Amino acid sequence: MKFQAIQGEGWLLTKAEQLINWGRSRSPWPFPYGTACCGIELMCALASSYDMARFGAERVAFTPRQCDVLIEAGTITKKMVPVLKRIYDQMAEPKWVIAVGACACTGGVFRTYSTHQGIGSIIPVDVYVPGCPPRPEGILYALLKLIDKIEADHPLYKQRPKIVEALEAGNEP
């Protein structure tokens, strides 16, 4: 076996990855991009009795450089598309996106000339939350799903699953 060392998951690498994932999943600072009524639900999810801060999603800042999770809550009109794209590009890696509400997911009821039909065609979305608007529980559930996704991530060695797969199939990576 020529590539045996790479097949097993190295102890140091996996522990470091676990540590990084632990840190990232416990402080996903949100960037609130509320453009419509879903923004109100987002505020509610941040305020008392729902309190997103329990999961470390605190320090809401309006500068994309300092945030991890872009929470896009509301309708995106065609004029707003370049702005959203630019905000996403300005965020520092690693970054995640939650699309809150029917408008952000698919355009919702606004099947008109002015509304963009779902932000999935502009920026990569990690979690979609359906509803018009979704309840704060829905937003919290999306955040929990995102935390699960972050914890399953491989921040140090993104290519590893691909290489392991190739090795298992008997090919050289």
Contact residues toward other proteins (CB under 8 A) are 19-20, 22-24, 26-27, 47-49, 51, 53-56, 58, 61-63, 65-66, 68, 92-94, 155
Measured from the CB atom, is 51 or 126 closer to other proteins?
51
Shortest distance, position 103 Cβ to other proteins, whole Å: 25
One-letter amino acid at 56 equals G
| Rounded Cα–Cα distance for residues 42 and 139 (Å) | 7
Per-residue DSSP letters for 60-103? Answer: --S-GGG-SEEEEES--BTTTHHHHHHHHHHSPSS-EEEEESHH
Measured from the CB atom, is 90 or 114 closer to other proteins?
90
Shortest distance, position 166 Cβ to other proteins, whole Å: 27
How far, rounded to the nearest angstrom, does the alpha carbon of residue 111 sit from its chain's CA centroid? 26
Shortest distance, position 18 Cβ to other proteins, whole Å: 11
| Rounded Cα–Cα distance for residues 51 and 59 (Å) | 12
Measured from the CB atom, is 3 or 62 closer to other proteins?
62
